[in-house]
Chains A and B, each alone.
Chain A
Amino acid sequence: MARVRPGEAANPAAPTVVRVRLRFAKRGRLRFLSHRDVARSFERAVRRAGVPVAHSHGFSPHPRLSWIGAAPTGAASEAEYVEIGLTRPVDPAELAIALDSALPEGIDILAAAVAEGASLAERIDASRWVTELPGVDPELLRTAVAALLAETSVVVERLTPSGRRQIDVRAALVHAEVGTDPATSGVSPSTGTAASPVCATMATVVRQTTPAVRPDDVLGALDVVAGLVPPVPAKATRMAQGLLDHRGDLADPLGSDRVTTRA
């Protein structure tokens, strides 16, 4: 910490003694939150909930919240993760309940665990997504997905803050399959999104890359290989994040010692 100059107040920030990791959901209309919006909501919620959050030092102290791989604006998620630095040990379940009630409806805390062992980044290398495509014929989608999987490399272009980036969707795509009804694919059907009775769904497992392959990029790749363009915007939900095992399943990053706060 820098030495305090005369005339300037010292920042009495208490050190971080323990970290708690949380899994949370971004649901409903709050899927339109950007990562910055989510971060701001958490910063306020930790204050409202009286969480003993540690702060950074200096004259603009910020609460110690560490984020990993945020779902993009417009994508819903059942599996976002954040790590909170605390100035004293607390019961993670109690923290989860207090924080959940301080967060806006739609950002919901799902599980909590005291951080131990490997970092969150070391415990996450892939995501599982479910994408709803209202107005898309499942058979056409099945054909397009098969065409995508048949390739070894399908590149799409995306505008990122650091300029145009070429992204190889196929290389990051571990698994993709088509369903017909959102209710049977494990995601709750969105209310009223479907403008047409036809609605295909697609479940994908995507490896973490830089830049990340987003659900929109997968759709872009389907356009490249099969000319498939959804008539209305698709709706993607991240269902899980974790370490990919040899069977293609994702291991829970919070590990066995997590406290679930929701059935």
Chain B
Amino acid sequence: MFPQLELLLPRVAKPVQYVGGELNAQLGDWDSAVVRWALMYPDAYEVGLPNQGVQILYEVLNERPDTLAERCYAVWPDLEALMREHGVPAFTVDGHRPLGAFDLLGISFSTELGYTNMLTSLDLAGIPLHAVDRGVDHPVVVAGGHAAFNPEPIAAFVDVAALGDGEEIVGDITDVVREWKAQGRPGGRRELLLRLAATEGCYVPSLYAVTYAQDGGIAAVEPVDERVPRTVTKRTTTDLDSWPYPKAPLVPLAETVHERASVEIFRGCTRGCRFCQAGMITRPVRERTLAGIGEMVDASVRATGFDEVGLLSLSSADHSEIADITKGLADRYEGTNTSLSLPSTRVDAFNIDLAKEISRNGRRSGLTFAPEGGSERIRRVINKMVSEEDLIRTVSEAFGQGWRQVKLYFMCGLPTEEDSDVLEIAGMAHRVIRAGREASGRNDVRCTISIGGFVPKPHTPFQWAAQCHPDVVDDRLRQLRAAVNSDRKLARNIGMRYHDGKPSLIEGLLARGDRRVGAVIERVWRDGGRFDGWSEHFSYERWTAAATAELEPSGVSMEWYTTRERGQSEILPWDHLDSGLEREWLWDDWQEALAGREQDDCRWTPCFDCGVCPSTGTDIEVGPSGTALLPLAVVNPISSRPADSAHGGVDPGG
């Protein structure tokens, strides 16, 4: 259907994002494929294309001989309006086929703020918004990603939530669909959903009945069929070396948020930061080996031409062989203008040798650290054990070695937080500038403090916590700005970036909501809600009005879902979804947090029984791997010889 779309493209902004055709894009044969997936990232192309989850599943599925996967992203409102006017359905960017023609529509949710965009795509595709209204020919809508660990707010719209690592579960789902189709689709859609519900890691919301108690809480969550398990446990991919995806990362034609190749150097994190959902739900730690990383970096650089390789994980400097990895890669790419980046680095795991290796062959950007909390006390509460002395020492050394800028990330609105905890951020920033000037002998050092509102997330020790009201967050940030500016001479070297706290409250509603929140999402979408992760499109008033209209008849409210602290015995909407963590351990850790006591990292200290390894049948996989990074000869396909202009007519075959 590209010809239909092509007529609309000259009339929209950045049409290149809708045409596909990126380097390393794949277009499988439609007719010979038995199971066809559309994979969606429910945000703009520039955000969605670099997403590693989608790229991994795209390759894994397309490698299967009988399976095809195409990608799609959210369309901006200008194209949406034209598509409605001209009757053009939601499409994939690879084959430009209508989403409704696929067997499965997989949607990866990194954040809850993509929910309204899912509804736009379903609607544009002509797929009924409500799973219950779908027939045997409609695609099975599968939600994945971190937000799928509490899919209850979107339970009405999705058929399946896939919990945990996607590499293997997409194959299992494909097998179930293939077999059902080969048998002539017995029992229709309901039989297919029952079979999927019996597949490890697949949660089918429509096969569970939720009842509510007088106090507004959940009374019970019951499977409606004996083939449906009472709890669904997440999937965990072990031995990352055997899953070296993406092998050929997509190279976008349009500009995107991350212009680099990314290699995931380990998955999972046991630092135990209590606010961090990613760290909790991706346990245990599984490292890729030095040799495996080296091969992936080489393949990525060759396949893409990117000049930067990001070594991704939740805390990259924590890889047990990180020094060998960075030194080895810096040696290998010496003189090639290929730079490395470590997007998530801890102050205490950081050292200057590492930073020097990373910047040896390319651009020296600023250094970024995330102390997360302004005071020692609040950092104990959140279990982010970074001392201010460590930070100042690290920063001084960096400034002494030629760096000119550091960025510091914090959160505001953390449990037990008081004004004074936030105001200490100002003192920390002042010390950074003083230390930087002293170490560098220059006045032009810079420190940027970036502050986000804290949102309590499911499957973390803070899942019971009261979310801080945005008015309180905004007030603390106003006070912080005044405190930063109290010393003019230091303040001129300090930048402060924060967004207002209102979107965080909505994220909180969606993160810890139950099925009743689905009506709020739908009303917001019907009232024009789109791209809620973008401040220019987000409307707080639209969300609060919809929440009032849809929730109050049930006796609950925005406040009930967000700023209310939960008790130990309350049934949480996601209690029947098992991330591996023992509920009791989470509660104990929440109590430890309230008492201001920290918890160690089990990679280097004894197990503290969070429950993941026994319940998911996994174990920590860390080095030393006993492998080495082999130097690679840089192959240069173009020989060096003088220009010979005498011959012509060569065909590059492109």
Contacts and interface: CB of A to CB of B under 8 A. Distances in A.
A29 B654 contact: no
A29 B652 contact: no
B66 to A, nearest CB: 26
A48 B305 contact: yes
Interface stretch (B17-25, B50-58, B211-219, B492-500): B17-25
B21 A30 contact: yes
Contacts of A261: 650-652
Contacts of B401: 7
A192 to B, nearest CB: 4
B643 interface: yes
Nearest to B643: A114
Contacts of A33: 16, 253
A44 B305 contact: yes
Interface string B610-654: 000000000000000000000000111111111111011111111
B639 A61 contact: no
B575 to A, nearest CB: 47
B11 A233 contact: yes
B644 to A, nearest CB: 6
Nearest to A87: B640
B304 interface: yes
A205 to B, nearest CB: 23
B251 interface: yes
A259 B645 CA distance: 6
Given A100-B652, A193-B6, A36 B255 contact: yes
Contacts of A30: 19, 21, 253
A104 to B, nearest CB: 5
B367 interface: no
A60 B651 CA distance: 35
B402 A7 contact: yes
B7 interface: yes
Nearest to A8: B402
A29 B17 CA distance: 11
B645 A113 contact: yes
Interface in B356-372: 359-360, 363-364
Contacts of B14: 34
Given A47-B307, A261-B652, A89 B7 contact: no
A29 B275 CA distance: 45
A259 B305 contact: no
A259 B647 contact: yes
A173 interface: no
A46 B307 CA distance: 11
A175 interface: no
Given A29-B20, A50-B638, A51-B638, A91 B10 contact: no
Contacts of A29: 2, 6, 19-21
Nearest to A34: B16
A48 to B, nearest CB: 4
A130 to B, nearest CB: 16
Contacts of A233: 7, 9-11
Contact of B15 (A9, A32, A59, A104): A32
Contacts of A93: 644, 647-648, 650
Contacts of B185: none
Interface string A28-48: 111011101100110111111
A8 to B, nearest CB: 5
Interface of B: prevailing SS: loop
Contacts of B535: none
Contacts of B2: 29, 192
A232 B7 CA distance: 7
A89 B649 CA distance: 20
A253 to B, nearest CB: 15
A6 B402 CA distance: 8
Contacts of B180: none
Contacts of B363: 59-60
Contacts of A9: 359-360, 364
Interface in B323-359: 335, 337, 359
A191 B96 CA distance: 14
Interface in A131-179: none
Interface in A69-111: 73-74, 88-98, 100-106, 108-109
A40 B7 CA distance: 26
A92 B645 contact: yes
A237 to B, nearest CB: 14
Contact of A32 (B9, B302, B647): B9
A212 interface: no
B567 interface: no
B648 A40 contact: no
Q: Select the residue from B3, B254, B337, B359 with max chain A CB neighbours within 10 A.
A: B337
B306 interface: yes
Interface string B297-309: 0000111111100
Contacts of A193: 3, 6-7
Given A37-B255, A89-B641, A91-B643, A50 B654 contact: no
A263 B653 CA distance: 11
Contacts of A52: 636, 638, 640
B19 A95 contact: no
A108 B653 CA distance: 10
A91 B305 contact: no
Contacts of B654: 100-101, 103, 105, 108-109
A207 B10 CA distance: 24
Contacts of B255: 36-37, 40
A259 B360 CA distance: 39
19 contacts: A8-B402, A9-B360, A29-B6, A29-B21, A30-B19, A34-B14, A37-B254, A44-B251, A47-B301, A48-B303, A52-B640, A61-B337, A88-B640, A89-B642, A94-B638, A104-B253, A106-B21, A109-B652, A191-B3
Given A28-B21, A73-B16, A89-B643, 5 more contacts: A7-B402, A18-B643, A74-B15, A193-B7, A257-B645
Q: Sorted from nearest, which 6 A-B pairs have the closest CB atoms?
A: A44-B305, A7-B402, A192-B3, A48-B305, A100-B652, A97-B652
